[in-house]
Amino acid sequence: MDPIIAYQLRKNVANIIQQQREAVNQIIEELKDDHYKGIGIYGMGGIGKTTLAVEVGKLARDCGIVKEVIMVVVSQTPNIRKIQGQIADMLNHRLEEESTLGRAEIGIPHGDEHKACRIMLTTRQKDLCTAIGTKGIPLRLLSEEESSHLLRKYACTSTSDLCPELDSTVMNFVKECQGLPLALVTVGSALRGKEQVEWEAALQLLKKSQPFSPTYASKTIFSCLDLSYNFLENEEIRLCFLMCCLYPEDREISIEDLTRDWTGKGLFSDVDTIEEARARVCLRVGQLKSSCLLLDVGKEKIPENLLSRLVQLEELYMGWSFRLWQLADGSTEGSGQVSLSELMSLPQLNILCVEVSTLLAFPENFDLPSIHKFEITVGYHSAICYPNSRRFYLREIKTGIPNGMKHMLQFSKELTMFCASKVILKSIFDVEGGLNHLKTLEITANDEITYFIDEVLHSDAPLVLGSLKKLHLRTFKKLFSLSVLPIKPGSFQNLRILRVENCDNLFFLIQTSLLQRLSSIEEVHVYSCNKLLDIFQLNEAAFDEEQKLLSTLKKIWLARLPTLFEIWRVPKQLLLNATLQNKQCFSNLTDVLIRLTRIIGEEPEGVSANVQNGHVLFPNLRAVHIGSCRNLRNLFSARSLGKLEELKVNDMPNLVELINNEESEREREREEENDKIIVLSELKVLRITKSGSVERLCTEAFCMDLPSLEEFVLVECPKMADTVKRGLGSASNLLKAEIEEQSFFSTMAREVFSSKNLRGVAVGPHGKHSRAINLVWLVFNIARLKLPVMALKKITTRVKTFVTTPFKKRSKHYKLPPPQPEPPTPQISPPKSPEMSTQQQQIRPLLQPFLFPKAKSTVLPDPSQFFAHNLLSTPLPTNSFFQNFVLKNGDQPEYIHPYLIKSSNSSLSICYPPQFRNPSFVYQIFNADLTISMLNNPNPNVPHVISSFSDLSVTLDLPSSNLRFFLVRGCPFVTCNVIVDVALKISTIHAILECSWNATLTKYTIKLNNGQTWILYASSPINLSNDMNNITSSEFSGTIRIVLLPNSDYEAVLDRFSSCYPKSGNAVFNQPFCVEYKWEKAGWGDLLMLAHPLHLQLLSDRSGVTLEDFKYNSIDGELVGVVGDSWLLKSDPISVTWHSIKGVKEESCSEIIDALTKDVADLNSTLISTLSSSSYFYGKLIARAARLALIAEEVCYVDVIPAIRKFLKDTIEPWLDGTFEANGFFYDTKWGGIVTKQGSMDSGTDFGFGVYNDHHYHIGYFLYAIAVLVKIDPMWGRKYRPQTYSLMADFMNLSRRETSHYTRLRCFDLWKLHSWAGGLTEFADGRNQESTSEAVSAYYSSALMGLAYGDTHLVAIGSTLSAMEIHSAQTWWHIKEESNLYVEEYTKNNRVVGVLWSNKRDSGLWFAPPDWKECRLGIQVLPLLPITEVVFSDARFVRELVQWTTPALARRGVGEGWKGFVYALEGMYDKTSALEKTRRLTSYDDGNSRTNLLWWIHTRGDEAEECDRGNNFCWFRHYSL
């Protein structure tokens, strides 16, 4: 055989069908024979005849045996005309004749006169080859070895992906398929990625399948196809396959045909539009292709000069189906295809729908004068089938617009553009005469334009877009305003709808220059513009006496505009101008939808600050929907709302009244009593929800009459008593009433039920937080008031299912301690600062601690507002569980298990939170279930004060109320110390159904209408009385304790432990891998606390008594009761080692050394400062280099260590000695900690390091590099020991002394047993942490530093915190398939938590959405260290995690660095596959390297090693006392 042919043969056959090598050799030799008479390839169905023929045809052409290959399908009932047409198309030949006989010039050549042609046919019948005189070449069945190889190829990405346990099962499948390629491919595709149990089940199905025909081939193929069919994932896909089977054999089926057929047959029950159906068809077809049940067809091709002959053609629809038009410049792309110039030869063409891939296909003279309607799409877009206008859709246009196309643009009515540059836009709008037929203009994505109209639309035309009716701009990154220059009269005179969204630099939308031209504007929609200040700017020029400004405006819809200052800005002097009072500026406005974060308007003297902004009136306003406007206090003047039909208000926390009708004192005096009734005669719908400050519908001096009201909803508006008392007027047409507060019902019941048309009443809490309503109470009130209820069709009550499971049998070892005599009530005194033990006082620091230069931060908040004065001289916590209490206004809630606690100056609110759940996140909802304050407080605005704090508690004082709260984590009681005799007030947003008491007046049971029952215990008798929402007391001093009763069976337990309460709690490290909790308690009896799931795992036998059936709900899992005032938590020890636990095999060292040599050679200490001055990325880079030194030690290649040592010294020293100009470490005296130079000036720089965010992450990387450098250069370590220990102590300090320079364990939460990273930033959901692996690395690096310095205490503490962080990661971040910690929908959708908040679980990351699963995995792995093996010690979970992540790697743009971490985990159970993938990587995470990845994978699978903990020197002791 010719060498070239042999090479091509090896190349193709090896890749496609190497099993049929003998047949391929024979066919090639026959094709080269000059006496060739034809070849017939025969064999049973499914043996691969067609596949072989296609590949041999390509091979023959590539090797020069033939010039062209033509392939047609000749079915059992051949269509001769179709076959002739297919051959002609492939030859680019035009057939002139219409009859079959006349087209005989095209056919299948045969005979001696056509020896240059080679004919090869495929058939299942050998006799056919003989009958037509061709040589028959049989295809054999595959051997078992070949069958096994082919099956494995389609069942997995590589043969190593199938575990050895499947070998015997694979061979059983091979026997069942009996060497038939189609059967093997079908089975392999169906079982791709399946587990062993699914393989076994499939084998049984395959054995039981029966064919329709007894023949050997059909039996085997039927069985395999039946298996593949049954393995389709749902019934919808199976029905789609069966529908495809109804088409004739070898039919090419278009997506559009399938869309129409499948939709018409009702296959898709849950799609609403054709577009959705088409997308579903594409999805199902792709799935059937991947299962080898459908095959692809070649690209469509239309020969040249075909369309130009259709001279009678009137309508042409080619949207979706064809895009490959020949280019106008004659280039090769699309050659041989039809061209757009042919359309110019169709004089009757009046409707056109085409899609073109590029503007280069348009000829310069392109023009279609007869066209009436068209849709021309350039770039991919789902074009409509039947155009009803003249529309262009232009996507990502890179070149200028052809002249001929400009002529058509001039007469287009709709223009949609995506990703068009400023130059392209100008070229489009600069057409001669302008685009004054254009009615709709939509533009998406531009990064250049600042003033859209001024820069793009100004032209020499007499007016600009005079016919435009709709303008939609989306995602203009630099857009500042639409226009500032004068605009020609008549421009935009017909514009009716303006829509702008996602323009993050937009400050001002419509200024006066444009406003004067919008004479027809009806709707304005603005969404997601994060810097927008106002919508309309009205200056003196805008108020022309002859102009009714914006008189046509009907709708204003605004949403997600966090900085909006005003909707319409009117200068102060104009607002005060009496001539504007009667100006009908917005006389036709009918619909307002506003959903903003806030609206703040200037309030000049004498002008009402509301949505109306003074005297701008809306006499025709019909609908208003407004929500999330945090600062609005009122909305409108009643004088302008005569036609209002619908008013919906939601989430308006500061809104006091809806309608403000205040007038001057003189005018008010002239008001007659009858004029003080506000009649909204047209109002039909009134909904007010989640607006806790709303007190009334209108000004106090007025009453409301709503004669047309049909629907009234009042939900979560506890202050609306005034409105309730005055009623709604006649309300005779009321159809539906929904009232949350039961106490409101009695007042309004007669009005509500007097309506003869009433169809529904809902009384009780609203929505997803609903609890129970007493139905007997409702019926009683209806009867008591003798209400007419003949028309009432239903009474809606919302009942929450209570968990009433009784206690399980109490554990045998549990015995309630005998009651103790009650001591006298203790005197309440201010808490004392923690005192050192005698031993601690005797120990003095070994060395004077080092401090970095003092910082002058401009971004840190002032702590003096909320911390007691005596605490300000000590370091303060910056990542604590109560951090929200000391940030900004101090009024965001914090989760102090089991309650959400919110403090607001003179009061404290308690919430036992319900949860909101979906597959992407879970969070707890704050409702002020109970709020405690002083009755009639004369100074309600005095802020609360943190008077003391400890590891497990915080003491919060309300000075103006004389209240002190001991907020202790895990305490089921909220304890309040009333310091002096004061009257108390306990309020609720719910209705109080019952408040009962015991004989001694020391216990009160409070039942609310949300289904909750609370108990109040008092240290001495207290007299309480209540109304609908409030409980008040006589003067009282002493202690009260408030607790939720989640189950009536718990009441006896709560009674038993109600007299003992914790005042504070600390955590003590007395031995490695142990933490002991000790609570300071008061009162008498035993202490009852709650333990979360990780506590229960770690609790030792001597940690009190566990009440297994006493439980509270929590986002962290069930909280279980534990009796005892001290707990001991014990973790399994972990090995903190420099090197891998399992070691590197000798045969693996060479590959690691090769990578190591290159990575070390690339180190450049000069370059690093130019790459990054960020403390985070800089730390990752030096830690990466330190890894190379330790790997060099492990593979015994120490020659590179001197270079690494020099690099580390050159890069670390500038940060420690203050010579790094770009950045550096400084000491902050305000809070007590390290900040960076850049971070102290910009809170966003260094990922918020300057406001104490991510401290353990950043410093942890530095400590790792320092630990390694100290190890390889001890003299350097001694020189810089003060600096390194000071750096470490920033987040590792254990000292409680007032003279300490750093707060105690800055990031580590000793109750949750993991770290937080949020720093001094207020978050509604509390603290948060994203990367547990970086937290583990920080404490692990501290332990390594202890090893390097011989500090056993530092080793012990670092190891203990590492172990606890690992336990927490495995408990709360790692989500196993069988886990029941989180709700089912969240567990099913996630294998790891993205960001864990104290009050929320989020699937997304700070930098990536939830579907970037490779990032979610990687952020829980990096940096890759020996300790990583301990973090991921559960091999089964690792496999689940990798399998969950792997599909995400197919997404376009996935970073190589993130892939490396996925492969690293894969290496823990499939070393071979992971190595193969890792070797193909071309880049790595900036904290990782090729050397490190290879080291990791090569160290998998051997026994663990022990590590030496070092000697007894204790440099760390200074920071531990």
Residues annotated catalytic, as ranges: 1254, 1330, 1334
Which candidate, 592, 672, 671, places its Cα nearest to that of 632?
A: 592
State CA 827 to chain mean position distance.
52
Q: Coil, strand or helix: which one is 808? A: coil
| Cis peptide, bond prior to residue 653, ω within 30 of zero | no
Is residue 1506 packed enough to be buried (19+ CB in 10 Å), middle (13-18) or exposed (0-12)?
exposed
Query: Are 916 and 922 spatial neighbours (Cβ–Cβ below 8 Å)?
Result: yes
Which candidate, 465, 592, 466, places its Cα nearest to that of 523?
A: 592
Cα-based torsion angle of the residue sequence 1359, 1361, 1365, 1371 in order, rounded to the nearest 10 degrees: 100
At 21, give phi and psi (nearest 5°): -60, -40
State CA 645 to chain mean position distance.
38
Query: Are 673 and 651 spatial neighbours (Cβ–Cβ below 8 Å)?
Result: no
Q: Coil, strand or helix: which one is 967? A: strand
Q: What is the DSSP string of 200-256?
A: HHHHHHHHH---SS-SHHHHHHHHHHHHHHHTSSSHHHHHHHHHHHTSPTT----HH
Instruction: Describe the chain by its helix, strand, coil percentages, rounded to 5.
Output: 35, 20, 45
C-alpha to C-alpha distance for 1480 and 1495, rounded to whole angstroms: 16
Which candidate, 1219, 1235, 595, places its Cα nearest to that of 859?
A: 1235
Q: Which residue has the tokens 């009623």?
A: 727
Looking from the CA of 1311 toward its CB, the CA atoms found within 13 Å total 28
Helix (H) or strand (E) holding 911: strand 907-911
Q: Coil, strand or helix: which one is 762? A: strand
Query: Are 1049 and 810 spatial neighbours (Cβ–Cβ below 8 Å)?
Result: no
The vertex-1395 CA angle with 1390 and 1400, nearest 5°, equals: 90
At 945, give phi and psi (nearest 5°): -135, 135
Is residue 1051 packed enough to be buried (19+ CB in 10 Å), middle (13-18) or exposed (0-12)?
middle
C-alpha to C-alpha distance for 215 and 647, rounded to whole angstroms: 75
Helix (H) or strand (E) holding 1015: strand 1013-1018
At 567, give phi and psi (nearest 5°): -75, -45
Letter for the amino acid at 865? Q
Structure tokens at 797: 């009550």
Q: Coil, strand or helix: which one is 963? A: strand
C-alpha to C-alpha distance for 1031 and 991, rounded to whole angstroms: 11
At 737, give phi and psi (nearest 5°): -130, 130
Letter for the amino acid at 571? P
Which residues are CB-neighbours of 643 under 8 A, at least 6 positions away?
A: 590, 619, 620, 621, 622, 682
Say how many C-beta atoms besides its own lie within 10 A of residue 754's C-beta. 14
Query: Are 746 and 785 spatial neighbours (Cβ–Cβ below 8 Å)?
Result: yes
Letter for the amino acid at 857? S
C-alpha to C-alpha distance for 1283 and 1264, rounded to whole angstroms: 14
C-alpha to C-alpha distance for 889 and 944, rounded to whole angstroms: 10
Which residues are CB-neighbours of 1000 under 8 A, at least 6 positions away?
A: 1021
Structure tokens at 504: 């993050």
